[in-house]
Amino acid sequence: METGQRDDVDICVLGSSDTEATWDSSADDRGGGSESYPRHNLTWVGGEVISEGTWDGSQAKAHQEAGQLHPSQEKMKPEQEEARPPLVPVKGIPMIKYFAEIYDEVESFEAHPDDLLISTYPKSGTTWVSEIIDMIYKEGSLEKCRVQPIYMRVPFLEFAVPGVPTGIELLKEVPRPCLIKTHLPVQMLPKSFLEKNCKVIYVARNAKDVAVSYYYFYQMAKVHPEPGTWEEFLEKFMDGRARHFLDSFPNYRRIGLENPEREIRKVMEFLERPVDENLVKKISHHTSFKVMSQNQMANYKSLPSSVMDHTVSPFMRKDLQFQLSGLIIVLVGNYGI
């Protein structure tokens, strides 16, 4: 089925497969964990900013295996303002209060032509796709990918929580080219993404699956209002009062699900990266639900419970299993509003 298709829109789908990918983890090139990688000034989202330092991969791995946070991250205690504030409408779209407060700054964000925007509705596989693309950019290096959590490697454009660096602040520090995550509908995106013809990867998921995942996410992510009962939340979701769903990229066509390895190849081709089959298998393995749910640099367990309470519901729920009943849509060039 095709809807609103345009010539300047390329489409690829990241789906799922019942066949688990195989990868010999002993073949990973970790370099002995001794190499350090330069980074931007804001080394961790949290209460401490470390200037132009490095933190080697072995240190990241040691903290992860011990179930510990980096020392600076332990100080990440967002200022407690209004508990679970109500959503605030911006241009007719309900937004998290703190996100709405910085929207003017978000709207004026200046993108660069080599920036890649990962655009999704919440709970549609954003972290999965972000991890795949980051691994592609880092040529499958686990050490480089696990030096920092995903929310620092792929900053969240409109993110804001009191006492924590905003997505805009992080994006001023990350090295080029930037991977940028957003949940904004197309009409609220900074115009610079259109003007600079940035590449965009858009992810959609079956709305019924999104609603279930989003309900549990509302419960554990404390920047959201109380979701109420499932029946109450579902009514709001269907009425568009749980943030936007249908206001997304208008020009797309729908195609069927395919297996992850095939879709990783499509993304690599879209990003003009050489397709190496060993790298494809490695990325498929390390972005599987089983592996990512245990990876503290990807499962958001590194955030304090004042932001996300995993005792209420894990960020990565078993119902997801990354079997997205939706699509990844890659838009090339000026796709317009």
Residues recognised as catalytic:
183
Nearest to 88 by CA among 77, 103, 68: 103
At residue 11, φ and ψ (nearest 5 deg) are: -125, 135
> What gap in Å lies between CA 194 and CA 240, rounded to an integer?
26
Strand partners, 179: 116
Residues pairing with 199 in the sheet: 116
Contact between 333 and 8 under an 8 Å Cβ cutoff? The reply is yes
| Cα-based distances in Å from 238 to 95, 206, 317 | 16, 13, 22
In the block, tokens 């999704």 appear at 120
How far apart are the C-alpha atoms of 314 and 301, rounded to whole Å?
8
Which residues 6+ apart lie within 8 Å of 79 measured at CB? 162, 163
The helix (run of H) or strand (run of E) holding residue 253 is strand 252-253
10 Å CB burial of residue 153 (0-12, 13-18, 19+) is: buried
Dist. CA 229–CA 298, nearest whole Å: 29
DSSP 223: T
From 4, 2, 12, select the one nearest 271 (Cα to Cα).
12
What is the token pair recorded at 90? 């911006």
What CA–CA distance (Å, rounded) separates 248 from 246? 6
- DSSP 3-state assignment of 103? helix
Strands 9-12 vs 327-331: parallel, antiparallel or unpaired: antiparallel
